[in-house]
Structure formats: structure tokens, C-alpha cells
Amino acid sequence: MLNRIDRLARVAVVVAAAALVSATSSFAYEGGAVSGGGTIKGMVKLNGTAPEPEVLDVNKDKKVCAVTEKKSNELVVGSNGGIRYAVVSLTNISKGKAFPEGESVLDQEGCEYLPYVTVVAQDHELVIKNSDGILHNIHTYSEKNKPVNRAQPKFKKKIKETFSEPEMIKVTCDVHGWMRGWVAVADHPYYAVTDENGAFELTDVPAGDYEIKVWQEKLGESTQKVSVPGGGEATVTFELAQK
């Protein structure tokens, strides 16, 4: 109970701080109903030949972890040249749709992070599950948020973590050296992770001109301008090259 009150108090502080920030800064995001918004559809492509993903060496807890062969998700390219697990987001939106309902979940299953890239709203809880029944640990590498390294032994099916600053955070498990995933801390709901064909879609975008950004862990970032017509559709294609 105490803990709940404590958490509520913390949330209250965060909300108050957020309110303060929104009063002084035009960048804080304001969510609400969007009428007559448009859609941005697009694709992230690799400019060049797709590398063969590295087969990961699963050398520990093989009974649980080595059920299927694991390949690196660092750069996954579909047959159409589309890059999977790239994160597309608008960079300069301050008002638009509300964050979707429901919690963001990062699961550890078969000694893999599912999904490989999880989007969570800033100051919202990320639910971290351990479906494996063995010890994992959540070790984050972040600069804007305080890095965490928390054990999740098998009796802890679920833990929660909150991030307050927008950032792409790498997550690893020190028990299983091959485990690797990403958490995208979002300051607004216009974030999308590309599918196996490299496609993405951002819906209910208020009509207007925006800057749109793609991030990929190996290939870096790239931005473009995009105009969204009211009730219409804009198309964006990113081409990323190997560095």
C-alpha cells in the first residue's frame, strides 16, 4: 500500500513536472481527439545488398534457449529489400492523437526479447515479462534515462520499469550474452516499427507539414519532410545505406 501511495506520489510529481514543462515549453506533447487527420504510409529500404544475418551462439541454458536457431536482428532485410525493426517517428509534433490504451509489454521468451523493438510512452510503465522460468536480467544502456540492471529470477513473472526521457535504449541480458533488444521511449504516439517488409504506417496525423525520422541500430538516422493532407495519405520512402 505504502508503495502504491509512493508510486502515486511519484506519478503526481511527474504529472506536475510535465504540466510545468508544458506551460513553458512548446515541445511537450498534447494528446486528444483528432478529426480529419491523414495517414503517413511508407517503407524503409536498404540501399545495397542485404547481409546474411549472423547465427547467434546459444551457449547456455540450452534446454530453454536453444529450441530454435537464433539469428541476429541487428539488420533484418526482407526479400523486397525492406528493413525490419527500423523505428519511424515524427520529430516536431506537439499536438495530435492520444496515446493508445493498453500497456506496453516486453517479453523474454526462449531467451529472446519479444518484440525486438518495444515502443513505450515516456512516464508510462513498461511491463517486462519472463516467460522462460530461468534467470534473466534487464540491463539497459541509456544516456538520458538512468541505466538499470535488474535481475528477473524465475519466480518474478512480471516487473515494471518507467522511462522519463525519449530515447532509444539498448537492452541486454548479462546471463545470456546473445540477448539483445531495444526500447523506444516515445514522447508522442506517432512512432512505428517497420514490419518484415520494411513497411510502416502512422495514422490520425493532423494535417500539416512534418519532419519524419527513421532510426536503425546499424545504419543510423535519416530525416525527411512530409506534408499530410487532411483525410488523405502521404507516402514516404527511406533508403538507408551501409556505413
Nearest to 56 by CA among 48, 66, 42: 66
59, 64, 69, 75 alpha-carbon torsion, rounded to 10°: -80
Does 14 interact with other proteins (rule: CB under 8 A)? no
Closer residue to Cu ion in complex, CB, 113/190? 113
Does 155 interact with other proteins (rule: CB under 8 A)? yes
Does 106 interact with Cu ion (rule: CB under 5 A)? no
Which listed range, 2-10, 109-117, 162-170, 191-199, lies at the site for other proteins (CB under 8 A)? 2-10
Radius of gyration of the chain (CA): 19
Site for other proteins in 180-239 (CB under 8 A): none
Q: Closest approach of Cβ 152 to other proteins, in Å?
A: 8
Which of 95, 124, 129, 139 touches other proteins by CB under 8 A?
A: 139
Q: How many residues bind other proteins (CB under 8 A)?
A: 22
Closer residue to other proteins in complex, CB, 43/173? 173
* Residues 219, 241: Cα–Cα separation, whole Å: 7
Q: Closest approach of Cβ 66 to other proteins, in Å?
A: 11
Phi and psi of 117, rounded to 5°?
-120, 120
Site string for Cu ion, 119-158 (x = CB under 5 A): -----------------x----------------------
Binding site for other proteins (CB under 8 A): 2-3, 6, 59-61, 134-135, 137-139, 147-151, 153-155, 174-175, 177
Binding site for Cu ion (CB under 5 A): 136, 173, 175-176, 179
